[in-house]
Amino acid sequence: MNTDRITEGPGEAKVVARSDVVVVGGGPAGFAAAVAARREGASVTLIERYPYLGGLAAGGMVLVLDDMHNGEEVTTTGLCMEMIERMARVDACVFPPVAERLGTVEMHRKWASWGLFDFRAQSKPQPIVMAAAFDPDGWKRVSNEMIAEAGVDVRLNSWFSRAVMDGNRITGVICETKAGRQAIMGQVVVDATGDLDVAVAAGSPFVHGSYMLTTVFRLGGVDTEAAERFRWEEPERFAVLDKQAKKIIGGSWDRWWLKTPLPGVVWCNCPHMTGLDGISVEDSTRADFEGRKRIYAMVNFIRANMPGFAGCYVIDVAPQLGVRQTRLLVGDYVVTKDDVMNRVHFADTVARGRDYYTPYRSMLPKGLDGMVVAGRHYSATESAQKNSREIPPCMAMGQSAGIAAAIAAHRGIGLRSVPVADICARVRAQGGDPGDVPSANATILETAA
């Protein structure tokens, strides 16, 4: 008897839903794909393993939306901007008005503690740009409203298990649930899992990348005015204590805490842990234990030493581990770091981020039919993905993927036969910018071949 593996017997799954488009993953990209496809008139089923929508935006508490501007130009609009505006209307989101997106010291001091600055800028102070700080439950609330308004069939607590295949074409997915194994069938499947779960199960080629993991957390009871005043009025003492806090947490960005729309509540995008694999059960378990250990060690230190934090306490640690990169698709085109850094504009561009562009081919799994990919696991090299994986561009990708899926389903054609011009036209009709018109600083690539 082979004790390393067992062979599963034949089984079956009850078909619980059929729709034109099946979206697997209810994070920002999957949410955008589902809403966009439904607004195009397609029937849509959205599958999510957690008991809420939002993915890393909500469950992972990545609470700043950035990488959505090219200088003064706002490049990522559409469903991402609609989400921002709707969250702001219920006091769950904050972003700087146009007149205050400047590089002055005054504006930097006003908005930097929200994380709303150009984090890639080399100049100091880093200019304030269009970015948004939001509350994770605000994201869940608004996404629920938008999904319901669109009429998407949502199935939470459904963990993707297998792809249903007809040759090299995907025709549905199987999920594990408390009610047993269930099948959801569709004409087109959107893989928005973040880890390429569906495409890999269907046989898609991929590369296995790796980046740091983070146990994001929030603190309550913080006197943010006192904390900011200490930073600006006692810079030398602040620098010493800030360095000590960062050493204890063991890995963070320059600002280890940022303000949120909730008074006295800050979020901490740390500690960062390297050398761990985001799809490894052992590594994710290790990250949770180690992350919490570091969190409480730093809290003890800042309570005793940092002005503004004497009465702070841990509100929560994000229920989802902060995973940035795992499996990456090998699609019809693989985006390179040079493509991103040189702002290469492709003839088949269907989405854009800060000042880079996403070709439609990088969303199509090589050798597979009936599937489009949207999110941080799109077809890119590891180094390119690290510079193009933020939430707003992933939402832009999702919106285009949903529209492409709806067009393919309605016309009864393959995804590769969907005209790029038609995708872009429908994105614009939905209020988005697909990047089909390049900015002045783009590098034009004339052909899509």
Confidence of residue 52 (pLDDT cuts 50, 70, 90): very high
User: In which element (H, E) is residue 45 found?
Assistant: strand 44-47
The per-residue pLDDT for range 314-354, each reduced to its tens digit, is: 999 999 999 999 999 999 999 999 999 999 999 999 999 99
DSSP label at residue 117: B
Cα distances from 233 to residues 225, 238, 302, 375, in angstroms, run 12, 9, 18, 42
The per-residue pLDDT for range 373-387, each reduced to its tens digit, is: 999 999 999 999 999
Instruction: Name the CA dihedral angle for 54, 129, 434, 197, rounded to a multiple of 10 degrees.
Output: -30
Q: Distance (Å, rounded) from C-alpha 116 to C-alpha 102?
A: 11
Cα distances from 316 to residues 3, 215, 242, 273, 442, in angstroms, run 40, 10, 22, 19, 42
| pTM assigned to the model | 0.96
pLDDT score, position 448: 46
| Coil, strand or helix at 123 | coil
Q: Distance (Å, rounded) from C-alpha 16 to C-alpha 423?
A: 30
Whole-number average pLDDT of the chain: 95
pLDDT score, position 105: 84
Q: Distance (Å, rounded) from C-alpha 101 to C-alpha 257?
A: 21
